[in-house]
Amino acid sequence: MSFSSFGLSSSLLKGIQALGYSSPYPVQQQAIPAILKGRDVLGIAQTGSGKTAAFALPILEKLLKQPVATNRSVKVLVLVPTRELAMQVEETFYNLSIHLPHKIKTMAVYGGVSINPQMMKLSGTAVLVATPGRLLDLVDHNAVKLSEVEVLVLDEADKMLNLGFKEEMDRVFSLLPARRQNLLFSATLGGDIQTIVATQLHNPVTIEVEAEASVPELIDQVAYQVSAEKKGPLLRYLIRRENMEQVLVFASSIRTADNIVGKLKKNGIEAAALHGDKSQGARTEVLKQFKAGKIRVLVATDLASRGIDIKFLPYVINYELPRSPKDYVHRIGRTGRAEASGKAISLITPEDAHHFKIIQKKMGKQVTIVQTDDLDLHGA
Ligand code: AMP
């Protein structure tokens, strides 16, 4: 699925491209068409799911077809719990609207800073991203009017309630026109959320997306710094030294996967490849043998690995790093399951160093890096 299939304007598609989004995340796949149709949405999704663009894109698409706002009546109100989220959401709107033919003004307002500059800047704002307390202050100062709001977004609604904003939220609801579109996003669906859903949303489309994969605690991660030429010998050395009985090795291309298998076999280690060039029958057979312990090393590409369902794998080796941190987590998550510990090893060339730093940052975990200059790989 691609972003162009939603029928979004080309100027918005350009903004998406500029942000480097290549395909829509699940929450976006489901929410964008529903919001474009004018439906209310209940999104059970967390930060990191891509929920901001899921509501920002269809909202911008709608605003594109309307005259530019010039007064203090905002068309879209996004209520958020914190200043940080307010700034983040505003930034997403801003980035996505860079290529639009006319400016759609988005502004973030939050407490903890002086109210005057915010009041002065508000005029002509179409999308207001606000924390509830500051929003009400601005309403009381006649700096903003909510009577023409067409779309209300409640972002991280559970957090807003946890922070004690219930009364403020109720007051905001009472200032909004009855006829409007409502989009509520929350990671959880506690009691008070249910009340809001029941009283404010009309026949919502419910969207539930899984939380991003996180790294299980039981995985021991280590990386070996190695030159590209020494990767093959190092792989064989590790398999032998650690007595790996069963290991899943990841390669980034079909060709590399086949090469690795060829070299392992030549050196007396039973191995097989699993990738998109093999027929379904051949793949099933290879998996069967691997599961039965008849093949020691399975070398797979990411795509082929999705279907691998093995209860417990003691070792996963990234012969090459995946492009995305998400795939890294997905790969290593194949070990350390079901209360058993596992080990994930990555072979890092000097060219990979920067990319591997990004992966560690995204995953929020530091991986021990082992130098291999002193290892004797002869005969491996
Ligand atoms: P959010 O859950 O809205 O905070 O988004 C989490 C992160 O995912 C942000 O850094 C977004 O820029 C990014 N993101 C959102 N949608 C996509 C997409 N379709 N492709 C790649 N990155 C995305």
Mean pLDDT of 43-53: 86
Which SS3 state, helix, strand or coil, does residue 155 take?
Answer: coil
CB 207 within 8 A of CB 45: yes
Give the tens place of pLDDT for each residue, 60-90: 999 999 888 778 999 999 999 999 899 989 9
Give the tens place of pLDDT for each residue, 301-311: 876 666 565 66
Nearest atom (ligand 1) to Cα of 19: 12
Residue 336: which pLDDT band, with cuts at 50, 70 and 90? low
Nearest atom (ligand 1) to Cα of 3: 19
Residue among 114, 125, 145, 14 nearest 63 (CA): 125
Give the tens place of pLDDT for each residue, 340-366: 678 999 999 999 999 999 999 888 888
Going by CA atoms, what residue is nearest to atom 10 of ligand 1? 48
For ligand 1, is residue 21 a contact (CB within 6 Å)? yes
Residue ranges and CATH numbers for the domains of the chain are 3-209 (3.40.50.300), 212-371 (3.40.50.300)
Residue 158: which pLDDT band, with cuts at 50, 70 and 90? very high
The residue type at 296: R
Q: What percent of the chain has pLDDT over 70?
A: 93
Q: What is the pTM of this model?
A: 0.62
For ligand 1, is residue 51 a contact (CB within 6 Å)? yes
Whole-number pLDDT of residue 20: 83
Residues recorded for the chain: 380
Whole-number pLDDT of residue 334: 73
The dihedrals phi and psi of 222, each to the nearest 5 degrees, come to -145, 150
Q: Measured in angstroms, how far is the CA atom of residue 48 from the centroid of ligand 1?
A: 6
Whole-number pLDDT of residue 57: 98
Q: Which of 19, 23, 210 to mutate to test the pocket of ligand 1 (most atoms within 8 A of CB)?
A: 19
For ligand 1, is residue 48 a contact (CB within 6 Å)? yes
Which SS3 state, helix, strand or coil, does residue 280 take?
Answer: helix
Give the tens place of pLDDT for each residue, 173-213: 999 999 999 999 998 887 789 999 999 999 999 999 865 55
For ligand 1, is residue 18 a contact (CB within 6 Å)? no
Give the tens place of pLDDT for each residue, 255-301: 999 999 999 999 999 999 998 788 878 888 888 888 888 899 999 98
